[in-house]
Amino acid sequence: MKAISGRNQLTGRVISVKLGDIMAEIVMQVGENTITSVITRGSAESMELKVGDEVTALIKSTEVMLLK
C-alpha cells in the first residue's frame, strides 16, 4: 500500500456495488454505519471491487458539520 497524507480513513467491507454506464456506487459497512462512495466505473473495475472486499474510505473535506 502506498503512503498517503489523508488522516480521515475509515476501513470497512463492501456491501453493495452498482455499476452504471459511467459511474459506480459503492456502499461500505463501517461498524454500525454505512458510507456510500460514487467513483468512476473504470476505477471500480480497475480495483475489481466486489461485495465482501475490505476497503478504506479516505475522506477529505473542507467542511465537516455536526448535528446534535
pLDDT in tens, 24-49: 999 999 999 999 999 999 999 999 99
Give residue-wise pLDDT tens across range 4-19.
Answer: 887 889 999 999 999 9
Written in H, E and C, the secondary structure of the chain is CCCCCCCCEEEEEEEEEEECCCEEEEEEEECCEEEEEEEEHHHHHHHCCCCCCEEEEECCCCCCCCCC
pTM: 0.85
